[in-house]
């Protein structure tokens, strides 16, 4: 039987062997954390603590600045020592709260609820909201917003994204092996909130042990189906996942809710379960530390706000001088200009590439019209034209080629024989035009 998949896509080396056998281990608690007040899509939070104030682990330190927003909590107990702008992984200066860790690990009061599944949909939504949960696959879209579709957009299917198609990353894979039952419980809570009777868990077929674990965890849930997916990048993109599992096509510029679907990451499902069951806010996440340039690859449970420099130190540092350090995976991640930036709710990995593995694009060639980027574009776009128009400064003209349908998966740049920085050109055009 053919595996579920989508049209287009590429097959980059997955490199998951580097970290996949490292069980999740808790990172040592840092001396201080830098917690950005904007680590999600939407409005930044407003600080509700002051310098010198003592805070406990799990205490709210930033309130949402609007409906599309999510509260932030302290990931350590200690004292607030600064509220100021600090750089994030994308190089932007973001208002942040710095907390000196007293290493007492004192929690704020949490409400345990063993009968969480009996709570009403509104009560469960309130728990998701209070926990500050966002999409943990990288986009960091506030989960509450996804769980609040307008009445004219009813949802009938929820998909848990276990594809983890980005090369090198294994955080979701380890979660599926080690927290499979909790992830299924998270999916059941999401289904209850939206009144949905059908749930899928989609996993690429190169993770057979994770598929077996999740099937075993869901064996008594007739409304939940665990499906193997073809190994192909970007299989884990929302629109590709929906197409593969349901056969529905999200329209151009549309959202999954337009085809009655909500997609959540496995880490998000786990966070939803922990919020409903224990009242635990999202203050930590699993981060894959990997690549040929790191001494000890690992999958670490990291406190939000921990600096990447501290994580690299805990993994033994670089083998030699690193050529590039990337936040996220090699296809959609961002190269870091400094390691003194914090892990946020959307940080899935830290990839260390040695000097010999770095490809410089300063001397890229002209487009030779080979059409490879068009053949593999999962959105059916013409990346070649988008890059040419952007390179020439014709940003408005790029909109005629559906510029804003591109979700920047990087497949086009991967296959380009001229090594053109196609994604960077597309980002430039997007930044200088309006949808």
Alpha-carbon distance of 165 to 5, in angstroms, equals 12
For strand 93-101 and strand 298-303, is the pairing parallel, antiparallel, or unpaired? unpaired
Cβ(262)–Cβ(147) under 8 Å? yes
Q: Which of 57-61, 154-158, 333-337, 347-351 has the lowest mean pLDDT?
A: 333-337
- Name the CA dihedral angle for 375, 379, 384, 390, rounded to a multiple of 10 degrees: 180
Name which of 370, 222, 284 is nearest 74 in CA terms: 284
pLDDT value at 279 more than 80: yes
Mean pLDDT of 304-327: 94
pLDDT tens-place string over residues 65-92? 888 899 999 999 999 999 999 999 988 8
pLDDT at position 2 is 63
Q: Is 191 left (phi over 0), alpha (psi -120 to 50) or beta?
A: alpha
pLDDT tens-place string over residues 338-393? 999 999 999 999 999 998 877 776 678 899 999 999 999 999 999 999 999 999 99
Whether the bond into 234 is cis, omega within 30 of 0: yes
Alpha-carbon distance of 370 to 412, in angstroms, equals 12
For strand 93-101 and strand 72-73, is the pairing parallel, antiparallel, or unpaired? unpaired
pLDDT tens-place string over residues 201-233? 999 999 999 999 999 999 999 999 999 999 999
Cβ(55)–Cβ(49) under 8 Å? yes
Alpha-carbon distance of 252 to 250, in angstroms, equals 7
pLDDT tens-place string over residues 94-133? 999 999 999 999 999 999 999 999 999 999 999 999 999 9
Is the dihedral angle over the CA atoms 82, 85, 88, 91 positive or is it negative? negative
pLDDT at position 1 is 55
More confident residue, 155 or 41: 155
pTM of the model as a whole? 0.94
**Helices 171-178 and 180-194, interaxial angle, to 10°?**
90
């Amino acid at each position: 039987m053919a595996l579920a998949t989508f049209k287009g896509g590429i097959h980059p080396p997955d490199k998951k062997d580097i970290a996949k056998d490292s069980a999740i281990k808790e990172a040592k608690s840092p001396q201080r954390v830098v917690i950005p007040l904007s680590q999600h899509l939407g409005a930044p939070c407003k600080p509700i603590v002051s310098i010198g104030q003592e805070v406990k682990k799990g205490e709210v330190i930033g309130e949402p600045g609007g409906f599309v927003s999510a509260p932030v909590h302290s990931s350590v107990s200690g004292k607030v020592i600064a509220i100021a702008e600090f750089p994030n992984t994308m190089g932007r200066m973001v208002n942040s709260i710095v907390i000196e860790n007293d290493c007492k690990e004192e929690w704020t009061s949490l409400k345990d609820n063993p009968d969480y599944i009996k709570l009403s949909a509104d009560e469960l939504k309130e728990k998701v909201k209070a926990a500050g949960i966002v999409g943990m696959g990288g986009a960091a879209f506030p989960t509450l917003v996804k769980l609040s579709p307008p009445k004219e957009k009813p949802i009938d299917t929820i998909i848990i994204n276990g594809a983890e198609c980005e090369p090198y990353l294994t955080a979701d894979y380890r979660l599926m092996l080690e927290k499979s039952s909790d992830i299924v419980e998270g999916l059941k809570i999401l289904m209850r909130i939206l009144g949905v009777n059908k749930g899928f868990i989609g996993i690429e077929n190169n993770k057979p042990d994770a598929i077996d674990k999740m099937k075993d965890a869901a064996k008594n849930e007739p409304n939940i189906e665990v499906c193997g997916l073809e190994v192909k990048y970007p299989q884990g993109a929302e629109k590709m996942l929906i197409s593969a599992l349901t056969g529905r096509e999200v329209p151009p510029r549309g959202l999954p809710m337009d085809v009655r679907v909500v997609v959540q990451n496995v880490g998000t499902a786990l966070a939803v379960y922990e919020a409903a069951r224990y009242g635990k806010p999202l203050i930590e996440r699993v981060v894959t530390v990997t690549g040929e340039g790191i001494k000890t690859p690992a999958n670490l449970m990291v406190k939000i706000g921990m600096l990447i420099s501290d994580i690299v130190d805990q993994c033994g540092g670089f083998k030699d001088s690193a050529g590039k350090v990337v936040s996220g995976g090699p296809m959609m991640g961002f190269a870091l200009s400094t390691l003194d930036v914090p892990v946020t709710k959307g940080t899935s990995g830290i990839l260390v590439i040695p000097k010999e593995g770095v490809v410089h694009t300063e001397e890229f060639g002209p487009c030779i019209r080979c059409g490879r980027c068009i053949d593999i574009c999962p959105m059916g776009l013409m990346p070649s034209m988008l890059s040419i128009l952007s390179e020439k400064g014709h940003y408005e003209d790029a909109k005629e080629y559906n510029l804003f349908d591109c979700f920047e998966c990087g497949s086009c740049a991967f296959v380009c024989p001229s090594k053109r920085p196609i994604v960077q050109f597309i980002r430039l055009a997007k930044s200088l035009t309006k949808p």
